[in-house]
Amino acid sequence: MSDIERPKPVLLRGYLLLGMAALWAIGRVGFGTIPGLPVAASNAFGWPSNVLSEYSAFAATSPIGAAIFTAIGINDPKVFLLLHMFVAIMAVGLTLWSVFLMLPKGGGSSAFRLVILSPWVALLVIFLGSYDPFTVLAFSLLLLAWRSRHLTVTFLTGVILGFQHFEQSVFAVIAASLTAFALKDRLPPDLSSIKKFLATLGGLVSGKLVLTVILINSPVSEAFGRSTYWTLEWFRISLVTSVNFWAVFLLSLFAGSWGLILFTVSRIERQQRWILFAALIVCLVPAVITLDHTRVFVMISMLSLTLVTIAAFRDSSFAGSKERKLIEALAWVIVPITLWVSMDGTPYLNQVGSLDQMIIFISEFGNL
C-alpha cells in the first residue's frame, strides 16, 4: 500500500514517530562542539592559503567546509558553526532520501527511524564544527551515484570524496562495496557493480591528487595532512586505549544498531557472513590505531550500515515482524557512546550528561 493510499491516521502516526526519533536522537546526547571551535574556525578561514600548525595540518586535507566558509567571507565562529549545522541537516536528509529511493513504496517509516537513530547521526550532533557533515553529505551522494547507471556520475562523486577526506573514504568505500557484495541478493543490483567500485576508487585517487596539487602550490605548512603527527607513541596510546576500553569500544561501534547487524548476519549464508566480517575489519583497523576511535569507525561504517538497513527493509517479511520491533526498540534504548583519547593519553567517554551538554552548547554559542 503506497503512502497515498494509506489512511491519514497511519500517516500521521508515522510522521509523529519520525519527529520523535529526530528529537530523541538529539536529546539523548545533547548538542556539542569540537574542542576549540573558535580556533578551528580561524584555521579554516582563508583555505588554502592559511598556514597551519603541525597539529592542525590535518584540517587542510578535509577542505570542503573550509572552502565554503572562506567563500562566505565572514570569519565568525558562529557562521562557521551554523554552516556545519546546516550541512549536517542536509547530510541526514539526503541519506534518508537515498534510503527512500531504494525501498519498496510505503516501507520507509521504520527504516527512516533506524537511520536517524544510527550512531553516525549522534556523532554529527555532538561534534559540530568537525568536517564530518561534509563527508557524510558526500557519502549520501555516493549512494545516489551507485544507484544510478552512469559511471561518470560515480567517478565525479568519488572525486568529491577524495578531495574531502581520502583516507576515511577509501576504507568506507571498500567496506561498503564488500557489504553490497555480501547482500547483493537483498539490494538493488547496481550497488554491487565492480565497475561502480572501480570508478569510485578512480575518483577518490583523482580527488586526492587535485587536493595535493592545490596544497603544494599554496603557502600552507610544509608538512600538511594527517601523517604529520603520526609517531610510535601516538600508535601506542591508540592501541592501549582500544584494549583498555574494549567493552565500551565494542558497544560504541554500532550502539543501538547492533540489533540490526546481528539480525542481518543471522539471515544470510556463511560465505556472506565472512564477507561482512571482512567489511567490519576494514572499518575496525583504522579505528583501533587512531585517537578518535569511535568517531573514525562510525564515519567509515556509515555507508555499510545504511546498506544493511536498506537490505533489511527490502525484505517484505521484516517490516511487520516482531524482530523489527525489537531491533527498533534497541535503537531507541541504547544511547551511542563516543570513545577517544587525547595526545597525552587521557581517554574520554561521554563525559557529561545530555542536559549539561545542551547547557554548555547554548552557553558556548552565546559567547562565540
DSSP 23-62: HHHHHTT---B-TTHHHHHHHHTTTTS----GGGGGGGGS
- Average predicted confidence (pLDDT) for the chain: 89
Alpha-carbon torsion angle 94, 98, 101, 107, nearest 10: -90
| pLDDT the model gives residue 222 | 56
Q: Say which amino acid occupies 263.
A: F
What is the distance between the alpha carbons of residues 217 and 332, in angstroms, rounded to a whole number?
49
pLDDT digits (tens, 9 = 90+) for 198-226: 999 999 999 999 999 998 888 765 556 66
**For 315-319, what is the mean pLDDT?**
79
- pTM for the whole thing? 0.92
Cβ partners under 8 Å of residue 136, min gap 6: 88, 91, 92, 95, 120, 124, 299, 302
DSSP letter for 227, please.
Answer: G
> CA 168 from chain center: how many Å?
10
CB atoms within 10 A of CB 247: 8
**Which has the higher per-residue pLDDT, 124 or 227?**
124
| pLDDT the model gives residue 7 | 54
Long-range contacts of residues 18-27, Cβ cutoff 8 Å, at least 24 apart: 18/109, 18/112, 18/113, 18/116, 21/112, 21/113, 21/116, 21/117, 21/332, 22/116, 24/117, 24/332, 25/116, 25/117, 25/121, 25/122, 25/125, 26/125, 27/354
Would the pLDDT of 4 be above 60? no
Would the pLDDT of 42 be above 60? yes
Q: What angle do CA 282, 152, 286 make, to 5 degrees?
A: 15
Q: Which of 42-56, 268-282, 331-345 has the lowest mean pLDDT?
A: 42-56
DSSP letter for 190, please.
Answer: G
Would the pLDDT of 2 be above 60? no
Q: What angle do CA 71, 73, 76 make, to 5 degrees?
A: 120
* Grid cell for residue 92: 541526514
Would the pLDDT of 5 be above 60? no
| pLDDT the model gives residue 1 | 46
Ranges of H-type helices in 232-352:
232-244, 246-254, 258-266, 270-288, 293-313, 316-319, 322-333
* Grid cell for residue 109: 517509516
| pLDDT the model gives residue 12 | 78
| pLDDT the model gives residue 303 | 97
**For 90-119, what is the mean pLDDT?**
91
Would the pLDDT of 8 be above 80? no
Would the pLDDT of 84 be above 80? yes
DSSP letter for 368, please.
Answer: -
Percent of the chain having pLDDT more than 70?
92
Q: Which of 7-21, 68-82, 97-111 has the lowest mean pLDDT?
A: 7-21
